[in-house]
Chain A
């Protein structure tokens, strides 16, 4: 069996005195399209942050591409749930995508990261291609302040793709856009899955299960972990009682 791309073993994490994740074991192999579902505050986004190396677990181990997560983050593309920048920042779409190319050809380490960088013709070409892939090439010269929610989401996806990552990690990529665009984005992710591994966090368990080839349900612990259809019992385990299940077909 090939080594997993992302290997999470017995990981626990708490913010201060509040435990968020307990004893998570999860292996993700190359080429998977994994959906991570679960209730709010169940630890889904925290798990992504651990994989990205933005936070460190109190116990257990995480390896990404065989390395510490923080040393592998440049091989990953990340699309956050909420933009972590002010929307009125004076920057064009092209510049935002170009920032995804920083550190492309550098080794790890402090000294390497201090080498000055400039945008090359190859960077601009990669940015153009990434924007074309998400069908946003007409937005290149627009200011980010002028974009709609759906357009911004595509630009953030282009920023994640422009470094040609091994895996794409998305946190609720469709939370702030309408349902028609949600299908468009997931259709795009399905195409991208032909050449990269995808992890996507979603609250919409029914919708996401039609696209992904495996689901991990997280509510503090890993509640379920399979490719079978998700039935009422799993939903109840995941969300507790009194959850109304709505048939969701496509």
Chain B
């Protein structure tokens, strides 16, 4: 660990990696909270995996894979959102199919691209140590976009994620805000792909918000705490992986998984304790 901090002060690429981790954590905290409370992890997974199609096409046609990822993520979000809104009976099957089809397209493009294909592993599993410095501006711009849209429309988003039927009665264009929410999830996926790759994105999108949700019961505060947890996890994962030369992405995810399991057990025990304490406290008074 100490060796990591020593290296951090000396190596520019590590500083870039830490900044990338922190920038990705903002998206993961804010949008991850919506993904968890709206229970759309499967949809987010579908968006994340089908992004490989866009990255593969970008490699094949020779433009920036990150831009390809962003376009593919937004396209996948709109397509999956449309399926969810208009084709509810087949939702599960269709999202599963889009998930796999997107990946298959990506793999075919990459297989047919000339030159060395080592990048494929980086897209799938991420490599935060290879984030180029200019990507930081791109990530910061995506974060700024997320924060501005969520700040402007937090009331409408809350209405849609809480109770779609009631939101519709209040004149909120539910379909439109639902699609906008998925597009922002898609943007977050692209942010996180840099850190943990598209296979592992889902864990970093859901686990910090789920851990925060064990203890906090307000959407805004869950977002802030999930961002802090995400930052802590990704920087610690990076630090832990440094000395034994482990890939940082999976290290971060295992750390997140471990934190979630410990937190879920602790939250369960805490709830039992509070229930018992409230019974002892209130004596025989019934709850109205």
Contact = CB atoms under 8 A, between A and B. Distances in A.
A95 B208 CA distance: 24
Nearest to A77: B169
Contact of B163 (A85, A143, A148, A163): A85
13 contacts: A54-B168, A74-B169, A80-B166, A84-B165, A84-B166, A91-B217, A99-B158, A100-B166, A100-B170, A102-B156, A103-B171, A116-B155, A148-B287
A198 B173 CA distance: 26
Contacts of A52: 169
B166 A99 contact: yes
Interface residues of B, number: 29
B288 interface: yes
A193 interface: no
A92 interface: yes
A78 B166 contact: yes
B146 interface: no
Nearest to B158: A99
A91 B171 contact: no
Contacts of B165: 54, 80, 84
- Among A99, A148, A163, the one with the most B-chain Cβ atoms within 10 Å of its Cβ is A99
- Among A74, A102, A151, the one with the most B-chain Cβ atoms within 10 Å of its Cβ is A102
Nearest to B149: A116
Contacts of B163: 83-85, 99
Contact of A90 (B155, B171, B222): B222
B162 interface: yes
Contacts, number: 88
Interface string A78-99: 1010011110011110011001
B37 interface: yes
Nearest to A84: B165
A85 B217 contact: no
A109 to B, nearest CB: 9
Contacts of A151: 288
A63 interface: no
Contacts of B171: 73-74, 102-103, 106, 108, 113
A12 to B, nearest CB: 23
Contacts of B173: 110, 113-114
Contact of B158 (A95, A100, A163): A95
Nearest to B221: A90
Given A54-B169, A76-B169, A96-B162, 12 more contacts: A73-B171, A80-B165, A90-B217, A90-B218, A99-B170, A102-B159, A102-B170, A102-B172, A113-B172, A116-B156, A118-B155, A159-B166
A117 interface: yes
A159 B163 CA distance: 12
Given A117-B155, A151-B288, A91 B162 contact: yes
A229 interface: no
Nearest to A116: B152
A142 to B, nearest CB: 10
B94 interface: no
A-B interface, 10 closest residue pairs, ranked by CB to CB distance from nearest: A103-B171, A116-B152, A90-B217, A102-B170, A85-B163, A73-B169, A117-B155, A84-B165, A103-B170, A143-B217
A119 interface: yes
A136 to B, nearest CB: 11
B63 interface: no
Contacts of B152: 116
B155 A102 contact: yes
A99 B217 contact: no
Interface in B56-77: none
Interface in A132-151: 143, 145, 148, 150-151
B156 to A, nearest CB: 7
A148 B288 CA distance: 7
- Among A106, A116, A118, A143, the one with the most B-chain Cβ atoms within 10 Å of its Cβ is A116
Interface string A35-77: 0000000000000000011100000000000000000011010
Contacts of B162: 85, 89, 91, 96, 99
